[in-house]
Chains A and B, each alone.
Chain A
Amino acid sequence: MKKIQLNYFIVASAIMLSLLSCKKDFVEITPKGQFLTANYYQNKDQCFSALVGVYDVLRKNSGGFENMITMMNAGSDDHFAGGGGSSDGAGIQGFSKFALNATIMPSSFWSDHYQGIFKANVLLDKLPNATMDATLKARFAGEAKALRANYYFNLVRMFKNIPLLTKPVAATDIYNVVQAAPTDVYTQIENDLLDAINVLPGTVPLSTESGRLTKGAAKALLGKVYLFEGKNSLAAAQLADVNGTPGSTSTYGYKLLANFSDLWVVSNKFNSESIIEACHTNAGNSDWGWWGSSSDEGNSVNVMVGPRNYTRPTGSTAADLPSGWSFNVFTQDFYDAIKSDPRFASTVFDLKALKAAGQADYIEGYQNTGYFLNKFLPRQSDVTTGAGTPVLNYRQDTYVIRLADTYLMEAEALGATGARAQALLDAVRARVGLGSVPVSLAAIKSERRLELAGEGHRFFDLVRWGDAAAKLSSRGFVAGKSEVFPIPFSELQGTKLVQNQGYN
């Protein structure tokens, strides 16, 4: 009897186990809606998608709370950090007061750029094996290299001592990476751009490819890189190709816009003055959940620089603006410098005066001066009517490099002397109806400050000219330290990286 029971038990168990063995693949699934890295980068379409991923990081110029423009503005003598209070954005407030340390340094300025570099590195690694047209392949490689150069240029200017990676890091080597000499990084940037210049097209079809890098864009960037390296004659040579005859249309089709104010019209994208442009759209329906991430396509500078709780009494003639967060208000010093310049109204939104006149009201933010950054103020007409959070879906593109910038850079690279330098300076001034002044380094510096105000260039310019300590020591700038950011804390954890001087 007992034996029979046991047999039942064994037989039943065997049946059950055999049931299970039929389902060997039960717990094997393959990913859907995504590809295995090993199988991707096969053809033109896949490589193009990967290239778009490399372009994606250009949004860092003006997308997300931690964007280049508002951050770099905050550390210049033209702006305060502003915002809602002394703690509204520890990173931007810290930079504005030169109180940054590794902990409050927003790590995205480091890691977002490295994400762009990683994506370029993977693409450059995989491209040779893709099945596609050779010319197109070369162009893709050129674009990836130029973008990589742009990201390294930002990194080396911000952090100076950075790892130089031109291939994806192997998992086993993650913690063995060391920092490169800044000169080596610059050499890599130069080589990447020189390679790119060889293969990039002179122009691209506006409707389908605007925003993609061209020969002119790579040359403008290379000129700028040389200028920052102090290689002035090399810089001037590259920039001369970009600029052509001052005031006229250059070989690559660049020309100053007739009206300075047209530069800040939202719909005026990819105009003749734009050389490298960071693109934004409301089509991403950006929302708080992924704000500042790869799929956030909105311009965040707009909402950040808008006045808080802006209202107008009935019948007011003041501009119709949505509200913002009052970052990057201008300093009184800058206001005084630009007050009588023709570019004043396009650059500064004088809400102090409007409020005094009873034309508008707002809630004063931190470090309020009442002078707001008009170039990037959010416009009621630009408020999205689509899905997503309206304040995160502004569409204004921003310039990474524009022609007035390359004019002034070339003039500077020429040593601020000579007829061409004079002509370049005159062209920038003439566009806004100003007469000629004798070209000099001082004149160029002054012109750059007023022409490019609020576009994120001033701090780098001051450091390059060696003027930063003089202009910023009252803010807490320490020479020999504050020229660069501290390396973010997370990068030092378990790695071989060494913190920048003065931040230990």
Chain B
Amino acid sequence: MKLKITLLCLVFFLAHLSQTIAQSNVVTGKVLNKTTNEPLVGATVKVLGTKTAVVTDSSGNFSVNLTKGSVLVVSYVGMNSQQKSVRGAERLVFSLEENAESTLKDVVVNVGYGTQKKSVLTGAISSVKAKDIEKVPNGRIEQVLQGRVSGVTVMANSGQPGSASTIRVRGITTFGGGNDPLWVIDGTVLDAGAIGAINQSDIESIEVLKDATSAAIYGTRAATGVILVTTKKGKAGKLSVSYNGFYGVSAPEKQLNLLNATQYAALMNEKSVAGGGSVLFPNLGSLGTGTDWQKQIFNNSANRYSHELSLSGGTEKSTFYLSFGRQDQQGIVASEISNYTKTNIRLNSTHKISKVFTFGQSIGYSHQKAVGLGNTNSEYGGPLSSAINLDPITPVVVTDPVVAASGQYPVNAIKDGYGNPFGISSIVGQEMTNPKAYIQTRLGSFDWSDDVIGNAYLEIAVNKHIKVKSTIGGKLAYWGSQGFTPVAYLSATNNVTKNSFGKSTNTTLNWNIENTIMYSNKIKDHNFNVLLGQGAYVDNNGGGTYASISDLPISSYEDASFNFPTTAANSNSSTYDLTIHKVSSLFARVNYDYKEKYMFTGIYRRDGSTRFGANNKFGIFPSFSLGWVASKEDFWKKNDFVKYLKVRGGYGKVGNDNIVDFGYLSTVIGGFNYTLGNSGLITTGYAPKTLDNPDLHWEQTTQTNIGFDAQLLSNFSLTFDYFNKKTSGILRYIPIPGYVGVSSSPVGNIADMQNTGLEFELGYHKKFGELNFSFTGNFATLKNEVTYVNTDADFINGDAAFQSMGPVTRTQVGQSYNSFYGYQTAGIFQTVADVNNYKNTAGGLIQPNAKPGDFRWVDANGDGVIDPKDKVFLGSNIPKFTYGFTMNFEYKGFDLMVFAQGAGGNKIFQGLRRLDIGTANYQTKAMSRWTGAGTSNDFPRLTTDDQNGNFTNMSNFYLEDGDYLRLKVVQFGYTFHHKLLNKIGASKFRMYVTAENLLTLTNYTGYDPEIGGGVMGVDKGIYPQARSFIIGAQLQF
């Protein structure tokens, strides 16, 4: 409460500041867009020949202090400037015209440690501005980039509200982890975890530095791309207040087609008999359709709310931006244990202390609370996996008192509100449990985080050419979880006899300091801009604790407390310290252009990292790039087809130190424990962890980028880039032979990989009478290839494994990283004769144990037997192309926005079904299984004795195409005419309806083709993304 009052006072104070400029000799006016007749917010109004300048408010109004006879110049990004001389105290109206060419010229892009005009940019930087994302329902920042930036692949990790996404800039840069791009928020380097703490509508712009030329300024950790996020700043002028709020309802887009009880029983009977067993379900007729477990967990009316309020304004001396945001979202799967809330507060301000000194700060606080399912995209339990695998015969609730009193339902079985136990399957066991009962055991468990992210800087304008700037920024993060496990009998294998309550708290304080000197000058037609800088970065600075007590004298999570008395035997705790990671840097950049026609950028950065030993502690990362605006040459004939053309290219080197700490040292660690003596207590054993590698060096990524920017006809803009990105000396654990005897593999620089691709970004804008239409689209291709793997191994087993199949991917030279690897099927043996005809050159049977209905495996190496040597590469999980497009229509007060995105060329591994539970349910695909000659050539027979490995071998049977096109956002809005709003003093009132994830076109048969994670495209029952219908309103004063 105290905080709220303080904030309120602050708001009034700042609002007061904004009014101090109102004085005599004031001229007021309004700036409009000539085409749409809408007010232009944030246009600069300057008194010619003086330093006086103001910015229009949210209604397009301005008031400026001047002397008679002055000339006012009004300018706005993307518009032609307009001048008017002031004769008296009349109200001036400026109507600015849009200028296609100037859009490119005047757009300013954040390039890291400063901005640059897009017209002189020589690198590959994609930009997303506030107006591009304001119509996207409030969510996480990664999602905002999806489909809007060429060359950036975004895949949601889960449909659980608040979940992170997997982002890859220009492909996979390194093996294993460490592929996430570097995030820089308002100049502060932050980890990906900080991204969830930023509120979407606080974003002014997002820039993605894609090529090495641009990213080299962040040398060390820039190989995976750099994403710069700039939050909104206040503008001088009247206080501007903006509110955006919505309410929405979410539902799943689809359910899987699973067998119903009768179908299930028939197939289980068939399967059992085929394997030599008995008929399991003799009375098929009595079963009906049985239980639809998916229906039990999906919520078709999950709620979501969002409120965002911002205030901004200021004087020429001080400006501020203050915002508040609140999101509340239920998940569509088991909403009781799947929901998310986030609260944000942000204050950004800038103060001109004197002619020389400027001080600025930004600080954001966020609190997040996420209740999660506990187990998603895993075949080992959780509501989704259980719903897919459970038999449809077991009832949701047992109402028969005789059954409920039987030994199958002990006292601790979870009961519904009427005292009836939830059904427990006696057919499908292991981790598969009745999801309704499971939900009851997860209540009261959640994760939380509190993040404070901020920075402050002092800028000294030494003279008009030299600026010195010192910035300090960082993140103070607290996060943890809390959980209560009640006494519960979910099944014979899931039996908790003693309740427990646990809490964890973790803290990190990550910070960085940067000092820069900027020198800029223009000598005749030569423009120089020189940056020198120094930085120190600290992260992974903290630790955490976990504590739990068990056997609490309570039965509900609501009563759980650490204040209950407990015994040593019933309490458990652990603590850890993180290993600090520090980077020290020196960097320099030179930008030069001649008449904005010939451009050069050169970057040099030297980084030192704690993750390398003395032999290679420092890495040097240089880059250069050139640009040429051909259309400015005298010989360039003015033509209507190509109005503007800039060709650019560059080459640079960036690094990655995202590896384990102390990989260069051999250390002795604990954890090799054993029990000696009869106390049952553990004695800690120590042993060397691994071999040392003093020569461990930086992973290096070199990248060549060639591209052009063009204005075509009068309405088209086109950006094209080609890149070739090569990572060498990839840091990874070296798979050394086991006889060496170390428990962990040493880290080494062991492989090279290459990504190449083409990127297109196209814009089109035209007015058809009253209808204003714009289109922006992007398309990117990507080819990933491993070009070298340490000679000690032919390949590296993949990171994704599926039950007893083991790794389902493999990394090998000539293939893309983590490609699916397994047997190739060649149809199904229809008859015994087919089996007998599948012979090797010696006349022997290639699959002697196969029976009709089994897969015919391709003898890939032609040695006449089927063994693991016949496994082949079956496709990649990395999309070969990604694309997205946005269409905007505006007609009078109505507007319509359609945004779609997609990806393709990738494979998805569908591992939804448990292999070791023979009685697990099947999808209805199994109805078209092989049941006799000619019945199927792609779905094998069902048997409990699968000697041929039809289902247990990794093969193309498990792979499906991952192509999809998703209608991500469709929004229809109406803006009330501003004349109507004047009565309430509002400058804008707009209402809208939005459909999110309205439609997904795909042949993929799982829940969702968008599957992020460490290895993308491995579906073990991913939490699907929700389809939401939203109604909302925007109000501005």
**Judging by beta carbons under 8 Å apart, are A84 and B918 in contact?**
yes
**Judging by beta carbons under 8 Å apart, are A31 and B665 in contact?**
yes
A168 within 8 A of B: yes
CB-CB under 8 A for A295 and B569, given A49-B684, A281-B681, A494-B791: no
A13 within 8 A of B: yes
Q: Name B582's closest neighbour in chain A (CB-CB).
A: A27
Q: With both chains docked as a complex, state the minimum distance between the C-beta of B567 and any C-beta of chain A, in angstroms.
A: 11
Which of A52-60, A216-224, A438-446 contacts its partner? A52-60
**Judging by beta carbons under 8 Å apart, are A312 and B407 in contact?**
yes
**Judging by beta carbons under 8 Å apart, are B492 and A33 in contact?**
no
Determine the distance from Cα of A121 to Cα of B740 in the docked complex, in whole angstroms: 11
Q: With both chains docked as a complex, state the minimum distance between the C-beta of B666 and any C-beta of chain A, in angstroms.
A: 4
Collect the chain A residues with CB atoms within 8 Å of residue B408's CB.
311, 313, 361
Which of B425-433, B929-937, B1005-1013 contacts its partner? B425-433
**Judging by beta carbons under 8 Å apart, are B738 and A490 in contact?**
yes
**Judging by beta carbons under 8 Å apart, are A107 and B677 in contact?**
no
Q: Is the interface of B mostly helix, strand, loop or mixed?
A: loop
Contact residues of A between 185 and 237, Cβ < 8 Å to B? 206-212
**Judging by beta carbons under 8 Å apart, are A114 and B739 in contact?**
yes
Collect the chain A residues with CB atoms within 8 Å of residue B683's CB.
52
Determine the distance from Cα of A198 to Cα of B736 in the docked complex, in whole angstroms: 36
Collect the chain A residues with CB atoms within 8 Å of residue B791's CB.
494
Q: Name B585's closest neighbour in chain A (CB-CB).
A: A20
Collect the chain A residues with CB atoms within 8 Å of residue B665's CB.
31, 36
Collect the chain A residues with CB atoms within 8 Å of residue B949's CB.
87
**Judging by beta carbons under 8 Å apart, are B792 and A493 in contact?**
yes
Which of A239-247, A248-256, A335-343, A382-390 contacts its partner? A382-390
* Contact size range, A: 35 or more
Q: Which of A8, A16, A283, A366 contacts B675 (CB 8 A)?
A: A283
Q: Name A162's closest neighbour in chain B (CB-CB).
A: B739
Collect the chain A residues with CB atoms within 8 Å of residue B8's CB.
none
Collect the chain B residues with CB atoms within 8 Å of residue A313's CB.
406-408
Q: Name A46's closest neighbour in chain B (CB-CB).
A: B686
Determine the distance from Cα of A120 to Cα of B77 in the docked complex, in whole angstroms: 72
CB-CB under 8 A for A294 and B673, given A34-B689, A490-B737: yes
**Judging by beta carbons under 8 Å apart, are A16 and B534 in contact?**
yes
**Judging by beta carbons under 8 Å apart, are A206 and B407 in contact?**
no
Q: With both chains docked as a complex, state the minimum distance between the C-beta of A459 and any C-beta of chain B, in angstroms.
A: 22
**Judging by beta carbons under 8 Å apart, are A385 and B550 in contact?**
yes
**Judging by beta carbons under 8 Å apart, are B577 and A32 in contact?**
yes
**Judging by beta carbons under 8 Å apart, are A311 and B617 in contact?**
no
Q: Name A29's closest neighbour in chain B (CB-CB).
A: B610
Collect the chain B residues with CB atoms within 8 Å of residue A385's CB.
497-498, 550-551, 569-570
Contact residues of A between 456 and 489, Cβ < 8 Å to B? 488
B1 within 8 A of A: no
A68 within 8 A of B: no
Contact residues of A between 380 and 430, Cβ < 8 Å to B? 383, 385-387, 390-391, 395
Collect the chain B residues with CB atoms within 8 Å of residue A117's CB.
741
Collect the chain A residues with CB atoms within 8 Å of residue B387's CB.
none
**Judging by beta carbons under 8 Å apart, are B675 and A281 in contact?**
yes
CB-CB under 8 A for A491 and B804, given A32-B577, A84-B430, A210-B678: no
B580 within 8 A of A: yes
Collect the chain B residues with CB atoms within 8 Å of residue A280's CB.
675
**Judging by beta carbons under 8 Å apart, are A491 and B918 in contact?**
no
Contact residues of B between 500 and 544, Cβ < 8 Å to A? 500, 515, 517, 519, 521, 530, 532-534, 536
B676 within 8 A of A: yes
**Judging by beta carbons under 8 Å apart, are A35 and B668 in contact?**
yes
Q: Name B734's closest neighbour in chain A (CB-CB).
A: A174
- Produce 1/0 per residue, B724-762, CB < 8 A to A: 000000000001111111110000000000000000000
**Judging by beta carbons under 8 Å apart, are A56 and B672 in contact?**
yes
**Judging by beta carbons under 8 Å apart, are B517 and A13 in contact?**
yes
**Judging by beta carbons under 8 Å apart, are A52 and B916 in contact?**
no
Determine the distance from Cα of A121 to Cα of B688 in the docked complex, in whole angstroms: 11
Determine the distance from Cα of A494 to Cα of B791 in the docked complex, in whole angstroms: 7
Q: Name B491's closest neighbour in chain A (CB-CB).
A: A309
Q: Which of A5, A49, A310 contacts B685 (CB 8 A)?
A: A49
Collect the chain B residues with CB atoms within 8 Å of residue A103's CB.
868
- Produce 1/0 per residue, B681-709, CB < 8 A to A: 11111111101100000000000000000
Collect the chain A residues with CB atoms within 8 Å of residue B406's CB.
313-314
Contact residues of A between 38 and 96, Cβ < 8 Å to B? 38, 40, 46, 49-56, 58-59, 83-90, 93
Q: Which of B429, B532, B570, B743 contacts A363 (CB 8 A)?
A: B429
Q: Which of B497, B685, B740, B868 contacts A55 (CB 8 A)?
A: B685
Q: Name A32's closest neighbour in chain B (CB-CB).
A: B577
Collect the chain B residues with CB atoms within 8 Å of residue A49's CB.
670, 684-686
* Contact size range, B: 35 or more
CB-CB under 8 A for A19 and B515, given A207-B679, A314-B406: yes
Q: Which of B676, B735, B918 contacts A493 (CB 8 A)?
A: B735
Q: Which of A119, A311, A495 contacts B672 (CB 8 A)?
A: A119
Q: Name A177's closest neighbour in chain B (CB-CB).
A: B739
**Judging by beta carbons under 8 Å apart, are B466 and A12 in contact?**
yes
A257 within 8 A of B: no
**Judging by beta carbons under 8 Å apart, are A5 and B463 in contact?**
yes
B284 within 8 A of A: no
A145 within 8 A of B: no
**Judging by beta carbons under 8 Å apart, are B534 and A491 in contact?**
no
Determine the distance from Cα of A117 to Cα of B742 in the docked complex, in whole angstroms: 10
**Judging by beta carbons under 8 Å apart, are A58 and B674 in contact?**
yes
**Judging by beta carbons under 8 Å apart, are B671 and A310 in contact?**
no
**Judging by beta carbons under 8 Å apart, are A311 and B671 in contact?**
no
B37 within 8 A of A: no
**Judging by beta carbons under 8 Å apart, are A27 and B497 in contact?**
no
Q: Which of B493, B517, B915 contacts A308 (CB 8 A)?
A: B493
Q: Which of B466, B675, B742 contacts A297 (CB 8 A)?
A: B675
Collect the chain B residues with CB atoms within 8 Å of residue A33's CB.
577
A171 within 8 A of B: yes
**Judging by beta carbons under 8 Å apart, are A8 and B584 in contact?**
no
**Judging by beta carbons under 8 Å apart, are B915 and A491 in contact?**
no
Most buried by A among B579, B682, B792: B682
Q: With both chains docked as a complex, state the minimum distance between the C-beta of B440 and any C-beta of chain A, in angstroms.
A: 19
Determine the distance from Cα of A387 to Cα of B609 in the docked complex, in whole angstroms: 38
Determine the distance from Cα of A174 to Cα of B793 in the docked complex, in whole angstroms: 13
Collect the chain A residues with CB atoms within 8 Å of residue B569's CB.
385-386
B840 within 8 A of A: no
**Judging by beta carbons under 8 Å apart, are B793 and A494 in contact?**
yes
Q: With both chains docked as a complex, state the minimum distance between the C-beta of A438 and any C-beta of chain B, in angstroms.
A: 40
A122 within 8 A of B: yes
B44 within 8 A of A: no
Most buried by B among A9, A282, A361: A9
**Judging by beta carbons under 8 Å apart, are A28 and B669 in contact?**
no
Determine the distance from Cα of A38 to Cα of B692 in the docked complex, in whole angstroms: 11
Residues of A within 8 A of B (CB): 5, 8-9, 12-13, 16-17, 19-20, 23, 26-29, 31-38, 40, 46, 49-56, 58-59, 83-90, 93, 101, 103-104, 107, 110-111, 114-119, 121-122, 162-163, 165, 168-169, 171, 174-175, 177, 206-212, 269-270, 279-285, 293-295, 297, 308-314, 316, 322-323, 361-363, 366, 383, 385-387, 390-391, 395, 488, 490-491, 493-495, 497
User: A-B pairs with the 9 shortest C-beta distances?
Assistant: A118-B741, A111-B738, A84-B916, A52-B685, A494-B792, A87-B952, A53-B685, A53-B672, A309-B429
Give 6 new A-B contacts, CB below 8 A, not counting A115-B738, A119-B688, A282-B680. Answer: A17-B586, A19-B534, A37-B667, A49-B670, A279-B675, A491-B739
Pairs across A and B, CB under 8 Å, 18 listed: A8-B466, A9-B519, A20-B584, A34-B667, A37-B692, A53-B674, A56-B687, A85-B918, A87-B805, A90-B804, A118-B688, A119-B688, A175-B737, A206-B677, A313-B408, A322-B493, A323-B429, A385-B570
Residues of B within 8 A of A (CB): 405-408, 426-430, 462-463, 465-466, 468, 491-493, 495, 497-498, 500, 515, 517, 519, 521, 530, 532-534, 536, 548, 550-551, 569-570, 572, 577, 579-580, 582-584, 586, 608-610, 617, 661-662, 665-689, 691-692, 735-743, 791-794, 803-806, 867-868, 915-919, 944-947, 949, 951-952
